[in-house]
């Protein structure tokens, strides 16, 4: 069975300044192609510490992935540490230096002298292309085991892993003819974890293969399918058959599978239907617009976003009547509906979403407690305002509100042909 070890490099991780999301991402993605992560290490920016971690990782696993320490500054020493670990010298690669120089030309800046160090690789290794940054990754082999060194910047690391590393590893697993464990997911919204688990009985029995697990995050419930097969093909067949069975049972609660997010699903459906959307936000403070526009290509369907935090903004920007605010309050179904209608009229979109509520931790009353949120959707095919009460902290209330709004739109778009 293919085994991986993940080495995260950086003082900022150890000090708590930066959260180590890279390791979680890599472990999750590795399991989708049948590679289990068996160990993980976080080490300081010191050559001896990195070399020691690489030695232990090499004993644990046949695949090692490092993140961090490939930048242009004096504390970026992964190259030197890898060279020492491999017992070789660093070599300047002219083609890498030219690519780094071209990167700075494209952004209209002169290349700092210290960026030259990123063009050095340990002898006998190869570069992993970085299309969005200056730090190339490194691919090395030691004792017939593979080492991939990737940048610590999450966007660069993910892009390079997906485009240059994952497929190679998948092919390696497919050709191994060894027992394999793979992961598939079903992403749901609209019911709690316990409700969804109840709907999937008896698939949740602990002695089954595939094994079913659950996680929940701000309303999104993910069903994890862990399948074990005598080889890659059998494991994939078991996992995907179970995935289809779960999707069939949960019906409209399912918004996507594996890596697809709620915003991505809604955006894709808007593109299919040729429709546009705008948002007007109060308590979410632009979070909904941020989630929507995180998706590549969102400019084809997202046109406007308003953050109308104050009453004056609601009136001046969206045309909400002062009488509505005085009579019902800013956090009310009436004001949410007026916000949605005002946003759609001004943006001239097919759909608009409005959110107003009390995210806390202060500001609540007995009549309108913290967590009270109104979400209104306005369109020619679906117009409705709904009240929700989310019992959680400020950040979670805001994210739950944004997710709920997207899910309401998802279900409305799902019914269109």
| Rounded alpha-carbon distances, angstroms, from residue 306 to 217, 282, 309 | 26, 8, 9
Q: Can you tell me the distance from the alpha carbon of 242 to that of 177, in angstroms, rounded to the nearest whole number?
A: 22
Domain residue spans in the chain? 3-174, 180-257, 262-414
Question: Has domain 262-414 been given CATH number 3.90.950.20?
Answer: yes
Q: Which residues pair with 184 in a beta bridge?
A: 225
112 DSSP 8-state letter: P
State residue 1's pLDDT score.
59
Q: Can you tell me the distance from the alpha carbon of 215 to that of 218, in angstroms, rounded to the nearest whole number?
A: 10
Do 3-174 and 180-257 fold alike per CATH?
no
- DSSP string for 35-65: -EEEEEEEE-S-HHHHHHHHHHHHHH-SEEE
SS3 state of residue 374: strand
116 DSSP 8-state letter: G
* Whether the Cβ atoms of residue 350 and residue 367 lie closer than 8 Å to each other: no
Q: Can you tell me the distance from the alpha carbon of 312 to that of 64, in angstroms, rounded to the nearest whole number?
A: 56
| Rounded alpha-carbon distances, angstroms, from residue 9 to 6, 43, 169 | 10, 5, 22
State residue 157's pLDDT score.
97
Residue by residue, pLDDT tens for the chain (417 residues) are: 589 999 999 999 999 999 999 999 999 999 999 999 999 999 999 999 999 999 999 999 999 999 999 999 999 999 999 999 999 999 999 999 999 999 999 999 999 999 999 999 999 999 999 999 999 999 999 999 999 999 999 999 999 999 999 999 999 999 988 899 999 999 999 999 999 999 999 999 999 999 999 999 999 999 999 999 999 999 999 999 999 999 999 999 999 998 899 999 999 999 999 999 999 999 999 999 999 999 999 999 999 999 999 999 999 999 999 999 999 999 999 999 999 999 999 999 999 999 999 999 999 999 999 999 999 999 999 999 999 999 989 999 999 999 999 999 999 999 997
Please state the length of the chain: 417
Residue among 360, 358, 316, 321 nearest 337 (CA): 321
Question: Has domain 3-174 been given CATH number 3.40.640.10?
Answer: no
| Rounded alpha-carbon distances, angstroms, from residue 355 to 18, 287, 327, 335 | 31, 11, 18, 9
**Angle CA 83–87–93, to nearest 5:** 40
Question: Has domain 180-257 been given CATH number 3.30.1330.10?
Answer: no
Per-residue H/E/C for 215-250: EEECCEEEEEEEEEECCHHHHHHHHHHHHHHHHHHH
Which two structure tokens, joined as six digits, stand for 288? 């909904």
* Whether the Cβ atoms of residue 343 and residue 302 lie closer than 8 Å to each other: no
Residue with tokens 């289990």: 36
Q: Can you tell me the distance from the alpha carbon of 211 to that of 385, in angstroms, rounded to the nearest whole number?
A: 39
Adjacency order of strands within the sheet including 180-189? 211-217, 220-229, 180-189, 254-257
């Amino acid at each position: 069975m293919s085994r991986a070890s993940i080495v995260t490099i950086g003082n900022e991780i150890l000090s708590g300044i930066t959260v180590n999301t890279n390791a979680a991402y890599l472990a999750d993605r590795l399991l989708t192609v049948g590679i289990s992560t068996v160990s993980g290490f976080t080490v300081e920016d010191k050559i001896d510490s990195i070399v020691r971690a690489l030695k232990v990782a090499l004993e644990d696993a046949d695949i090692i992935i490092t993140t961090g320490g490939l930048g242009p500054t004096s504390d970026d020493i992964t190259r030197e540490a890898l060279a020492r670990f491999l017992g070789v010298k660093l070599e300047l690669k002219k083609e890498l230096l030219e690519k780094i120089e071209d990167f700075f030309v494209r952004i209209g800046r002169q290349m700092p002298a210290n960026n030259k160090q990123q063009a050095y690789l340990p002898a006998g290794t190869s570069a992993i292309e970085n299309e969005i940054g200056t730090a190339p990754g490194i691919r090395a082999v030691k004792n017939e085991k593979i080492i991939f060194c990737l940048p610590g910047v999450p966007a660069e690391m993910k892009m390079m892993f997906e485009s240059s590393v994952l497929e190679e590893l998948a092919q390696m697993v497919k050709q191994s003819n060894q027992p394999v464990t793979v992961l598939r997911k079903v992403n749901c919204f609209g019911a709690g974890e316990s409700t969804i688990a109840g709907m999937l009985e008896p698939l949740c029995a602990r002695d089954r293969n595939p094994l079913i697990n659950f996680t929940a995050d701000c309303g999104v419930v993910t069903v994890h399918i862990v399948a074990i097969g005598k080889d890659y093909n059998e494991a994939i067949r078991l996992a995907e058959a179970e995935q289809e069975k779960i999707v069939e049972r949960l019906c409209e609660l399912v918004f996507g599978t594996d890596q697809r997010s709620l915003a991505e699903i809604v955006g894709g459906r808007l593109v299919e239907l040729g429709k546009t959307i705008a948002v007007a936000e109060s308590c979410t403070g632009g979070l909904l617009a941020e989630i929507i526009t995180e998706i590549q290509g969102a400019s084809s369907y997202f046109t406007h976003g308003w953050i109308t935090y104050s009453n004056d903004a609601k009136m001046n920007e969206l045309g909400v009547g002062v009488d509505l605010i005085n009579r019902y309050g800013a956090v009310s179904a009436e004001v949410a509906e007026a916000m949605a209608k005002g946003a759609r009229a001004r943006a001239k979109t097919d759909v608009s979403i409005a959110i107003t509520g009390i995210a806390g931790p202060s500001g609540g009353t007995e009549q309108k407690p913290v967590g009270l949120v109104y979400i209104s959707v306005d369109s020619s095919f679906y117009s409705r305002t709904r009240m929700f009460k989310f019992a959680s902290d400020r950040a979670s209330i805001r994210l739950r509100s944004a997710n709920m709004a997207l899910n309401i739109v998802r279900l409305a778009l799902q019914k269109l042909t």
